[in-house]
Structure 1
Amino acid sequence: MKADNFHLDTYLSRIDYEGETANDLATLTKLMQKQLRSIPFENTLVQAGRIPSMVPEDIVDKILYRRRGGYCYEVNGIFSMALTAIGFEWYFAGARPMTYPTRRPKTHMVLIVRVEGREYLSDTGFGGYALRAPMEIVEGEVVQEGDRFRLERVEGEYVLSALVQDVWQRLYGFASVPQEWIEFSLANYFNATHPDTIFTQKKLAIMQTPRGRKILVDNELKLIEEGVLEKSEVDYARALKEHFGLELLSV
């Protein structure tokens, strides 16, 4: 995916990336980790009653120039632009969130990147206890900076799970089937407007740190460092500014 106003140098500065880039796993890993620690997963636009734009130039303006975050289509969208600029081969795929009590449609969007003949799940847009680095799409478990993840085949698809407080939690299921950007337009509308989605129900802001993550859900802030959880009740607007650098949007 491309946008006329996307410039790789601006993106690299936005995520505090230093050094050379190349079409290899080391660069892909560094890019993903830097973005996860710089661009928050957040839904302030949805909470303000607006539908996030799927126009690539609007996403660039929002994330790079207005320095906000976004949810999966936006943050994975900007990530895909950087991958294209560097020369990676990648594609979008639809994923079925498994964090709801009932079966859901495939409204989540993931990125799959091909490096040296292998495919890696490289998702910067799930929030919560999400991947911290690219994960090769093969069955098995990996540990990423202390967090444990598992891929397994279930009914012809891959299912990604995370070990959270010693319990395996399924995050989402996906198939390695390329989808076009435009195919996620309805999913974007659904997530931004349907009363049963977490994005309309909860105020969210999530960002990873080198040793953990910060999770703000309404007035509850979770700070996780090396597996140690600190939970507190906070003023949402103040925590949003202090921990994520974001101002509330007016409704």
Structure 2
Amino acid sequence: MYASNFVLDDYLSRIGYHGPRDASAATLAQLMRAQLFTVPFENLDVQAGKIVSMTPEDIVQKIVYQPRGGYCYEVNGLFAMALQALGFSYTFLAARPMFYPVRRPKTHMVLCVRADGRDWLCDLGFGSYGIRAPLALDALDSDIAQDHDRFRLSRDAQGVYLLQAWVDGEWANQYGFDLHPQEWIDFAPANYLNSTHPEAIFVQKLLVVRHTPRGRHILLGERLKTIEDGVSQLRELGAAEVAVVLREVFALAA
């Protein structure tokens, strides 16, 4: 993944990362969490009637220099640029969101990253219940704690992985994926669908998520959900309050 305007030091400054720069699993985890805690997942462009740009230079300009956030293709694409600059080996994978009541196409992007002789699932753009650190693909059928969240990864006989999160007292399917490598251009149709289709959640409602070391803030429409240390609080906002929350909670300009 390459963008002519990507500067590693500027990216690391944007996410507040001052750790090691070797291609190890420890560095991978620190880097992922640093970006996750500073770059929000957001669909402001879609809500403004725009088609999200897949041009790598536009992604760098938007997230690193404006600075803004983005949805899966943008935040995972930017992370891939950093991985490449640091010497990590990775592939893009297509994932099928599994929390809808009907079967959906593979519109989500994740990364498979090689570090310390193992393959790791990395994903910084799944919104409400995304993983918070790299998840080893060989850690199957285990209850994996990440801060106050819990995840489980399984694989069927056809080699399809399923990621689940512990939500409201039960395991909830998040998305499925296999290890067939995808190219950047392969996600262009899915990006167009997510930017324009009336049934896409990003078209229907404002969705902004910012992870914190203790939990996450989730803004869905005019509803703000704050999760800290496993405890949730819900707040209904007025239209005027949304702009204030975007600025003060998510560091975004409406």
Q: Is structure 2 residue 54 aligned with structure 1 residue 54?
A: yes
SS at match of 2:16: coil
Aligned-pair Cα RMSD in Å = 0.9
Name the structure 2 match of 1:243: 249
Q: How big is the shift at 1:20?
A: 2.2
Residue 15 of structure 1 aligns with which residue? 15
The answer to whether residue 229 in structure 2 is matched with residue 226 in structure 1 is yes
Residue 230 (structure 1) shift:
1.1
Deviations 1:14-46 (A, max 9, x none): 001013211001100001001110000000000
Paired residue for 1:162, among 150, 159, 165?
165
Gaps of 5+ in 2: none
Query: SS at the partner of 1:244?
Result: coil
Q: Return the letter of the residue paired with 1:95.
A: A
CA shift, 1:155, in A, is 5.7
Kept after mapping to 1: 8 A contact 2:19/2:30: no
Q: Secondary structure at the match of 1:2?
A: coil
- The answer (yes or no) to whether the contact 2:153–2:164 under 8 Å persists in 1 is yes
Query: Residue 109 of structure 1: SS of its match in structure 2?
Result: strand
User: 1:185 matched to which residue of 2?
Assistant: 188
Structure-1 residue corresponding to 2:36: 36
Helix, strand or coil for the counterpart of 1:28? helix
Q: How does 1:193-204 map to 2 (within 5 A)?
A: 193-204=196-207
Q: Which residue of 2 aligns with 1:209?
A: 212
Distance 1:228 1:215 in 2: 13
> What count of residue pairs does the alignment treat as equivalent?
248
Identity rate, percent: 55
C-alpha deviation, 1:242, in angstroms = 1.1
Secondary structure of 2:152's aligned partner? strand
Whether the 8 Å CA contact 2:47–2:202 is kept in 1: the answer is yes
Aligned equivalent of 1:77: 77
- Name the structure 2 match of 1:143: 145
Q: Deviations over 1:77-103 (max 9, x none)?
A: 000000000000001000000121100
Q: CA deviation at 1:59?
A: 0.4
2:51 counterpart letter in structure 1: I
C-alpha distance in structure 1 between counterparts of 2:181 and 2:221, whole Å: 35
